[in-house]
Structure 1
């Protein structure tokens, strides 16, 4: 038989006091006499009592847990953001419970419902790519449950958000290509409903105009962020009568898929087609050629999201939503080397 852990109830019954008295004695609360505090703490040590954060939280109508929902648990991008969230949460006495929506709108709703059943104190999340309707957040907003979006966001006037300056990053990529001698610059964008897609397209188009290049609809293609879809998007671009000489992917996964297809068709990178990604995953440094990419401050995104959560959780009244906009860095590598003079 598995031995049940010693609980607050066990200590309270042994000392004929209430569970709340035991809880306060373990925290050296001044309302509890030094003698009783000593008895409680000695018994807890003797029985090897370990506090259960969830049980302690329920006594205070607070669980000190944060629900975190991400589109996937595989990519370094989301793992690194989770690391940032957890670091700040732990420093302030919180724990996190992580769920994945697997890019599904329906799964996202299920994750949200499940976490609320666990009585988490609030939610930090990134939208699934399928999510185009946001009514499932209404109950949280009405109840003023702390809610923070990061990267892929919605309802920014109502919800605290942490994002990067996607427009500026896309402008920087496009200018980088132009300054390297590239003139037919294509963009493989993400699903049209996502804010990151819209903002990166806007930056791409703004930079084309600033460089004196026309925007051609055929050079802008969408994908669903999967490798298969990005591969198909690359094939459409390369099948154009006048193919692009540079491709900017909405993320590194898209760029890696494009790189593989370019090589399959016998094209050289960057001599025939230059390539830039977005996220700067670890793999960008080990592929051949190494991939130029926009580096996200992923740990900082997670930390800022956790701080925005704490700001809400500790406020006497629900604070106005704040948007934190972080900067990115273009890390130039071999895949976008300038054209020979």
Structure 2
């Protein structure tokens, strides 16, 4: 007899008893005699039977699975958040199913539909950068299916979210540049529709104002979060007359691209151009010079998102969406440490 896909039905047919008898025998139910219980448990062991949590969950109208959608599976940023989600989910008896949108709006919708077909209990996700229409979340909200956004979020009045203090972090970066002697501070921002972009621009502008520096539109450029786009943005900035003497990237990917282009143009970091990233990827500590960056509490963000999800699962009635804001830390390294 094949040992693959061994189910209660497989055991019941082999022993010529009902599935309910098998189920109760596996749980040592007193209604089942010791001889039958022994036969059932012995065969289950021989065939390496294990309970199917999905099937059990469907019977209870709860699968104990969480759908997780991220825009990227490669970067440390998202893998660390996923680890945080999985850690807390496992502590509470939940499994996670991960899908990747690859920054595509259409792929994001497809991921959402496929996870709901798998009967996940709800969704924890980060928006794709292409997403500007949020109608595909209407069904979840109307059906009261738990939904949590992290990092890139929308509809915070309706959906629980976990974000960081983007505006305050960007303000600190700008102030740090000023205190290090930089005066033409540029910002490579992300796509305009993302909340992280808007919040970091607001912090950048606030920092300039507090330092008594004018906001110059030419020193603010956007990229699509790719290396190629960030490289082009850096080239645009360095072609200005005069060019910026400091660049703040929307994330570390943008900062790494800027670093490569600055070096290609034979400029020195931090003497000619100071550089700061955001998210503090592992590579920030191994590039030359080491990259000043904002440390993102990624693992904590994942656990907080899972907590917000479980709060919705455990609530007997719909609860008011919570907005969790986590604190970041500016980690100063060589790329912005110019002698004043």
TM over 0.5: yes
Call closer, same or farther: CA 1:336–1:86 in 2, change over 3 Å.
Answer: same
Following superposition of structure 1 onto structure 2, how do residues 64-75 of structure 1 map, counting pairs within 5 Å? 64-75=64-75
Confirm whether residue 9 of structure 1 aligns to residue 9 of structure 2. Answer: yes
Residue of structure 2 in register with 1:214 after alignment: 214
Residues 268-315 of structure 1, C-alpha deviations (whole Å, 9 max, x = no match): 000000000001001000100000000111111111111111111121
Call closer, same or farther: CA 1:239–1:228 in 2, change over 3 Å.
Answer: same
SS of the residue aligned with 2:141? helix
Contact 2:22–2:40 (Cα < 8 Å) also in 1? yes
Write the distance in 1 (CA, Å) between the matches of 2:38 and 2:154. Answer: 51
SS of the residue aligned with 1:161? strand
Residue of structure 2 in register with 1:108 after alignment: 108
Residue 42 of structure 1: CA displacement?
Answer: 4.7
Residue of structure 2 in register with 1:159 after alignment: 159
Contact 2:221–2:233 (Cα < 8 Å) also in 1? yes
Q: Any gaps of 5 or more consecutive residues in structure 2? A: none
Following superposition of structure 1 onto structure 2, how do residues 107-186 of structure 1 map, counting pairs within 5 Å? 107-186=107-186
Call closer, same or farther: CA 1:330–1:26 in 2, change over 3 Å.
Answer: farther
Write the distance in 2 (CA, Å) between the matches of 1:179 and 1:319. Answer: 45
Residue 46 of structure 1: CA displacement?
Answer: 3.9
Confirm whether residue 301 of structure 1 aligns to residue 301 of structure 2. Answer: yes
Q: Any gaps of 5 or more consecutive residues in structure 1? A: none
Following superposition of structure 1 onto structure 2, how do residues 197-276 of structure 1 map, counting pairs within 5 Å? 197-276=197-276
Call closer, same or farther: CA 1:294–1:9 in 2, change over 3 Å.
Answer: same
Contact 2:3–2:48 (Cα < 8 Å) also in 1? no
Structure 1 ranges of 4+ moved more than 4 A:
21-29, 31-43
Residue 137 of structure 1: CA displacement?
Answer: 0.2
Write the distance in 2 (CA, Å) between the matches of 1:71 and 1:297. Answer: 18
Following superposition of structure 1 onto structure 2, how do residues 12-27 of structure 1 map, counting pairs within 5 Å? 12-13=12-13, 14=15, 16-19=17-20, 22-23=22-23, 26=26
Call closer, same or farther: CA 1:257–1:43 in 2, change over 3 Å.
Answer: same
Write the distance in 1 (CA, Å) between the matches of 2:320 and 2:41. Answer: 42
SS of the residue aligned with 1:278? strand
RMSD: 1.9
Moved more, 188-197 or 63-72: 63-72
| TM-score for the superposition, normalised by structure 1 | 0.94
| TM-score for the superposition, normalised by structure 2 | 0.94
Contact 2:164–2:326 (Cα < 8 Å) also in 1? yes
SS of the residue aligned with 2:289? coil
- What count of residue pairs does the alignment treat as equivalent? 338
Write the distance in 1 (CA, Å) between the matches of 2:24 and 2:88. Answer: 25
Following superposition of structure 1 onto structure 2, how do residues 11-50 of structure 1 map, counting pairs within 5 Å? 11-13=11-13, 14=15, 16-19=17-20, 22-23=22-23, 26=26, 35=34, 40-50=40-50
Residue of structure 2 in register with 1:194 after alignment: 194
Residue of structure 1 in register with 2:79 after alignment: 79
SS of the residue aligned with 1:267? coil
Call closer, same or farther: CA 1:116–1:231 in 2, change over 3 Å.
Answer: same
Residue 33 of structure 1: CA displacement?
Answer: 6.1
Call closer, same or farther: CA 1:17–1:326 in 2, change over 3 Å.
Answer: same
